[in-house]
């Protein structure tokens, strides 16, 4: 199998029909588990050429691939030596105060997206990384790193929890939302990351829950969905981020229009789930909206048969999932497409998912006691 398949999807504006590059004749609609395992293993080793722009997000891609293998119950296909090396690679990307800590430190600590900054990549001696301009963590990469460590069975003992929690205070704005870094954008994605990080580390002192909850309440749109920011259109991904954040904070009942949200989720179903009204179905929303409905306790309102059929049509002969049928796969749609199938109960060999953390119940430490 070649690792260098390209992602070629072009979209025309307005109502013009999407043009996609066809890969092959439609596959028989069965779950090709072995091909998906090979896809994740391959992507962990080498990303396709078109993913060069994602070099600063290697941590996220590692999380998606590792968790994909975990959902497929195939983490053992990754040699133990490689698993241990991956843990060391993750810790090497940790930005810690080190010897430069000050009383009024305004640096964002946590995990970087990878080795893009070019500093010394040594988990035991990070002095070579100090003093690099604009070198700071990214909240989404910190979330991804913690997820990856938990998947690999690490106990998080080397995570600088104090520095990370302190950084969350720095990243929360007066309006209650969170930035991804000290001088960057803020939106619902990073709200979720802050809440998930706090829950994983068992320390909520870095989050002002009252302000965060109010921001989410204010971001609910007239049709029930929740937008990227206050005043934005409701969107499947940001609705998930908002609802998961409220559940993690214990404030789900604070939402002003819960029935409207449920209605919005139900109406997001066609052949598969759509992210916004009047958009084509997309495999990743089988998780984003499906997991939202799981958290709301209304997953029985989904059309499992239609959603399963759509996701299976998004598989490729290489393994992995595209966002639509007959397009090349990518790690995000591959992972969340499989998570969606797991929630649908397609195959008993797929591990059950924790909708709150985006991990298997095993990795999250939430498996039911036998």
Q: What is the pLDDT of the chain when averaged over all its residues?
A: 88
Whole-model pTM: value is 0.89
Rounded-to-integer distance, Cα 189 and Cα 240, Å: 9
DSSP H or E segment with residue 238: helix 236-249
- Asked if the model's pLDDT at residue 125 lies above 80, the reply is no
* CB atoms closer than 10 angstroms to residue 55: 13
Question: What whole-number distance in Å separates Cα of residue 193 and Cα of residue 179?
Answer: 10
Give SS3 for 278. coil
Q: Is the pLDDT of residue 166 over 90?
A: yes
With DSSP H G I counted as helix, E B as strand and the rest as coil, what are the percentages for the chain, rounded to 5?
A: 45, 5, 45
What digits encode the pLDDT tens for the residues 19-71? 344 444 445 689 999 999 999 999 999 877 888 788 889 999 999 999 999 99
Q: In this predicted structure, what is the pLDDT of residue 46? A: 87
Lowest mean pLDDT among 126-130, 180-184, 252-256, 279-283: 126-130
**Separation of alpha carbons 292 and 237, rounded Å:** 9
CA distance 93 to 126: 9
Of the pLDDT bands very low, low, confident and very high (cuts 50, 70, 90), residue 105 is: low
pLDDT exceeds 90 at position 117: no
Which percentage of the chain shows pLDDT scores above 70? 85
**Is it the case that residue 145 has pLDDT exceeding 90?**
yes
220-247 tens-digit pLDDT: 999 999 999 999 999 999 999 999 999 9
CA–CA separation, 350 vs 347, rounded Å?
6
Contacts 24+ apart (CB under 8 A), 14-21: 18/280, 18/324, 20/324, 20/326, 20/327, 21/326, 21/327, 21/328
Whether 11 has a pLDDT exceeding 50, the answer reads: no
């Amino acid at each position: 199998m070649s690792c260098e398949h390209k992602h070629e999807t072009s979209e025309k504006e307005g109502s013009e029909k999407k043009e996609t590059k066809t890969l092959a004749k439609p596959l028989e609609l069965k779950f090709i588990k072995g091909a998906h395992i090979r896809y994740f293993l391959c992507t962990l080793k080498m990303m396709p050429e078109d993913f060069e722009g994602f070099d600063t997000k290697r941590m996220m891609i590692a999380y998606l691939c590792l968790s994909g293998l975990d959902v497929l119950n195939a983490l053992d296909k990754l040699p133990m030596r490689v698993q241990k090396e991956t843990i060391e690679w993750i810790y090497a990307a940790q930005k810690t105060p080190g010897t430069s800590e000050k009383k009024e430190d305004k640096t964002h600590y946590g995990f970087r997206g990878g080795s893009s900054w070019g500093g010394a990549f040594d988990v035991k001696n990070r002095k070579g990384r100090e003093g690099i301009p604009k070198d700071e963590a990214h909240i989404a990469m910190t979330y991804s790193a913690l997820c990856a460590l938990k998947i690999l069975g690490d106990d998080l003992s080397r995570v600088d929890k104090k520095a990370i929690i302190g950084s969350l205070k720095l990243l929360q704005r007066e309006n209650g939302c969170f930035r991804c870094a000290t001088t960057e954008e803020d939106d619902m994605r990073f709200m979720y990351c802050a809440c998930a990080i706090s829950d994983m580390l068992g320390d909520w002192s870095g989050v002002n829950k009252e302000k965060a909850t109010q921001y989410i309440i204010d971001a609910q749109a007239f049709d029930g969905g929740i937008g990227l920011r206050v005043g934005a259109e409701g969107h499947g991904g940001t609705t998930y981020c908002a609802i998961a954040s409220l559940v993690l904070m214990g404030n789900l009942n604070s939402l002003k229009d819960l029935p409207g949200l449920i209605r919005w989720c139900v109406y997001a179903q066609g052949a598969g789930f759509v992210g916004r009204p009047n958009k084509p179905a997309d495999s990743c929303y089988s998780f984003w909206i499906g997991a939202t409905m799981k958290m709301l306790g209304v997953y029985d309102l989904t059309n499992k048969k239609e959603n399963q059929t759509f996701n299976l049509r998004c598989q490729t002969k290489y393994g992995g999932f595209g966002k639509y049928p007959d397009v090349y796969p990518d790690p995000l749609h591959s992972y969340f497409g499989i998570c969606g199938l797991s929630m649908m109960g397609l195959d008993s060999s797929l591990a059950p998912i924790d909708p709150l953390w985006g991990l298997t119940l095993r990795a999250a430490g939430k498996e039911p006691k036998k």
